[in-house]
Amino acid sequence: MPWPAWVAPALLLAAVALLFGGLRRAAVAGRRVHGAWHHLRRFPRPPWRNWLLGHMGMAKSTEEGLQNVDNLVGQYHHCCVWWIAPWQPVLRLFHPDTLRPVLLASAFVAPKDKLFYGFLKPWLGDGLLLSHGRKWAWHRRLLTPAFHPDTLKSYVGIFNRSTEIMHAKWWQEAAGAPVVLDIFEPLALLTLDTLQKCIFSHDSHCQERPSKYIAAILELSALVVRRQQRLLHHPDWLYRLSADGRHFARACAAVHGFTAAVVQHRRRELERLGHQAWLEGHQGRSMDFIDLLLLAKDEDGRDLSDEDISAEADTFMFEGHDTTASGLAWLLYNLACHPHHQERCRQEVRELLKDREVEEIEWEDLSHLPFTTMCIKESLRLHPPVTAVSRRCTKDIALHDGHVIPSGTTCLLSIYGTHHNPSIWPEPQVFDPLRFSPENTQGQSPLAFVPFSAGPRNCIGRSFAMAEMKVVAALTLRRFALRPAERRPARRKPELVLRPEGGLRLLLEPLAEAPWPGRGGPGVGATAAGTGE
Ligand code: HEM
């Protein structure tokens, strides 16, 4: 049947309208790109491949990639612009003066950029790390009390016992003589163990035998890194069809299933018993994160849904384990490479624990380890677990020197670059804990040292992580002497966190003076404080 006469003109009109609409949008985009380009060309631009490819593929997640950052920072001091595609500039910032206006801007003006964390979304959902806008602001307000020192206090016992389990295994492997061990994996299991106990009050004994839940988390972290490195796996639909994509979906389902079961079980108990009886029922076990999130309410009495609580718990498990394990591994490595600093920390710990019946670090002790704390900070400076964070400016942001970061620009705030900036830290490659002595930190910019980021989206788990690192470091130095196992320096690998390439092998020597098993020390299978679900 022939089409009615009006169809052809109507189609033509629609095509013209579409064309004009498209042209108008292209003109607006063109004007915006031109405006942005006008501002951005005032920033220094390191040599690129060519005008078409820009700096595409020049940033590398390797030791050499980090050395390139050292060169950039040495040459440009404040910032430089990097073109990862002809239409995609990234402003790299590595000085407190250039970090300040972006990091301290409201979370609405400089929200997180999706470029770096997008692949975590199916796993972490709308947890604090990935959410934005009003939802993030509301959750951040509700979650902050869960990290108050009064709450963190009750976790220190868990840190002690989880460390004992790791040490008991090391002690067995050493059998009384020095032994070379890769410390990264045991530290990752240790941090996962403590988090599972602090968040869920669940003891999966993951340091002693395989745990499906913990295996799924480790698999998810590894798969996210692999996906970042494989361009073909970037589109969701292609990834879903791949073997990695299917493994990712399976591991996500396992993690979500565990978290949802705990949250729903607790919610049912809360509803069955009522508030008061439920709180009293906690006798014998301290409140964990899930309890705190179930009870959290804002001023209008609104609380978090089960889905919200699960996303936050999954986020803490992810964000808290690899970061703290990386921080600890590099700390022990740096102390192994600097025996005199190691010995000074050990003296501090010995002094603290002398005359104690049980050698356990308590909450109050954490403020009596000044030199160990300086070593932890210096290690976080030299080897920051998170090497960079990213933001996307939704407004023009003016810098101290009159330069303007145009709206729409992605900024890569380089924590590693700032910590290695020779205009802030003389001889930045040298491990010198005295940089953090009270005299030497006077007058220093608070943004010169930002391992936990800064501003509204800083790390909510900072005090938790610092407390855990102090306990693990103090107990490890009390029980073992550490030496590097190899002559050449460890190669660094910046992935989701800064890892040692191929693991981190140290020579561990059990100290005769330590209270080892049979002498009241850690025993294999020492049980943890959690009650289990
Ligand atoms: C040494 C250990 C840690 C380091 C170096 C570290 C570092 C960071 C950094 C740099 C950020 C900012 C990320 C960004 O802006 O994209 C961050 C955010 C975050 N961290 Fe940590 N973190 C550590 C431990 C922890 C722990 C133990 C937890 C929880 C138990 C945690 C929970 C979070 C959360 C939820 C966020 C997102 C905060 C928000 O956007 O409001 N972190 N962390």
pLDDT in tens, 257-273: 999 998 998 888 888 88
Which atom of ligand 1 lies nearest, measured to the CA of 139? 41
Question: pLDDT value at position 283?
Answer: 59
Q: How much is the CA Rg of the chain, to the nearest whole Å?
A: 26
**Measuring from atom 41 of ligand 1, which residue has the nearest CA?**
457
Using DSSP, state whether 220 is helix, strand or coil: helix
Residue 461 C-alpha to ligand 1 middle, in angstroms?
A: 6
- pLDDT: is 297 or 437 the higher one? 437
Find how far residue 136's CA is from the centre of its chain.
17
Question: pLDDT value at position 519?
Answer: 52
Encoding tokens for residue 532? 């289990």
Q: Per residue in 409-425, pLDDT tens? A: 999 999 999 999 999 99
**Measuring from atom 13 of ligand 1, which residue has the nearest CA?**
389
Listed residue (347, 361, 382, 357) closest to 468, CA to CA: 361
Span 437-454, average pLDDT: 96
- pLDDT: is 1 or 120 the higher one? 120
Name the DSSP class of 438: H
Listed residue (410, 409, 412) closest to 388, CA to CA: 412
**Is residue 84 a contact partner of residue 429, using CB atoms and an 8 Å limit?**
no
CA 75-81-82 angle, to 5 degrees, is: 105
Question: pLDDT value at position 38?
Answer: 79
> 60: pLDDT confidence band, cut at 50, 70 and 90?
confident
Span 443-463, average pLDDT: 96
Among 319, 418, 457, 496, which residue has the most ligand 1 atoms within 8 Å of its CB, making it the best to mutate? 319
Span 176-203, average pLDDT: 93
**Is residue 418 a contact partner of residue 96, using CB atoms and an 8 Å limit?**
yes
Name the DSSP class of 377: H
Which atom of ligand 1 lies nearest, measured to the CA of 469? 1
Among 130, 459, 460, which residue has the most ligand 1 atoms within 8 Å of its CB, making it the best to mutate? 459
Whether 196 has a pLDDT exceeding 80, the answer reads: yes
**Measuring from atom 20 of ligand 1, which residue has the nearest CA?**
459
Residue 31 C-alpha to ligand 1 middle, in angstroms?
A: 37
Whether 98 has a pLDDT exceeding 90, the answer reads: yes
Using DSSP, state whether 3 is helix, strand or coil: coil
Q: Is the CB of 455 under 6 A from ligand 1?
A: no
Question: pLDDT value at position 524?
Answer: 44
Residue 452 C-alpha to ligand 1 middle, in angstroms?
A: 6
**Measuring from atom 16 of ligand 1, which residue has the nearest CA?**
389
Residue 360 C-alpha to ligand 1 middle, in angstroms?
A: 27
Listed residue (223, 163, 248) closest to 197, CA to CA: 163
Encoding tokens for residue 182? 């890769």
Whether 370 has a pLDDT exceeding 60, the answer reads: yes
**Measuring from atom 1 of ligand 1, which residue has the nearest CA?**
324
Question: pLDDT value at position 115?
Answer: 67
Q: How far apart are CA 186 and CA 99, in angstroms?
A: 35
Q: Which residues contact 56 (CB under 8 A, 6 or more apart)?
A: 49, 83, 84, 85
Q: Per residue in 387-398, pLDDT tens? A: 999 999 999 999
Find how far residue 488's CA is from the centre of its chain.
27
Whether 527 has a pLDDT exceeding 50, the answer reads: no
Q: What is the mean pLDDT of the chain?
A: 89
Whether 532 has a pLDDT exceeding 50, the answer reads: no
Which atom of ligand 1 lies nearest, measured to the CA of 131? 40
Residue 319 C-alpha to ligand 1 middle, in angstroms?
A: 6
Amino acid letter for position 152: L
Which atom of ligand 1 lies nearest, measured to the CA of 464? 27
Q: Which range has the top average pLDDT, 160-164, 209-213, 218-222, 520-524?
A: 160-164
Question: pLDDT value at position 140?
Answer: 94
Q: Per residue in 303-332, pLDDT tens? A: 899 999 999 999 999 999 999 999 999 999
Q: How far apart are CA 235 and CA 384, in angstroms?
A: 30
Which atom of ligand 1 lies nearest, measured to the CA of 497? 5
- pLDDT: is 196 or 513 the higher one? 196
Using DSSP, state whether 79 is helix, strand or coil: strand
Amino acid letter for position 303: D
Residue 61 C-alpha to ligand 1 middle, in angstroms?
A: 20
Question: pLDDT value at position 530?
Answer: 35
Q: What percent of the chain has pLDDT over 90?
A: 65
Per the DSSP assignment, residues forming a β-bridge with 482 are: 508
Whether 32 has a pLDDT exceeding 90, the answer reads: no
Whether 520 has a pLDDT exceeding 60, the answer reads: no
| Ramachandran quadrant class, 3 (left: phi over 0; alpha: psi -120 to 50; beta: rest) | beta
Q: Is the CB of 112 under 6 A from ligand 1?
A: yes
Residue-wise burial string across 163-181, b where 16 or more C-beta atoms lie within 10 A, e elsewhere: bbbbbbbbbeebeeeebeb
**Is residue 413 a contact partner of residue 390, using CB atoms and an 8 Å limit?**
yes
Q: How far apart are CA 407 and CA 393, in angstroms?
A: 5
Whether 515 has a pLDDT exceeding 80, the answer reads: no
**Is residue 67 a contact partner of residue 59, using CB atoms and an 8 Å limit?**
no
> 20: pLDDT confidence band, cut at 50, 70 and 90?
confident
E strand or H helix at 69, and its extent? helix 63-76
> 533: pLDDT confidence band, cut at 50, 70 and 90?
very low
> 192: pLDDT confidence band, cut at 50, 70 and 90?
very high
Residue found by looking up tokens 């073109």 in the block: 83
pTM of the predicted model, to two decimals?
0.91
**Measuring from atom 19 of ligand 1, which residue has the nearest CA?**
459
Q: How far apart are CA 376 and CA 370, in angstroms?
A: 10
Q: Is the CB of 142 under 6 A from ligand 1?
A: no
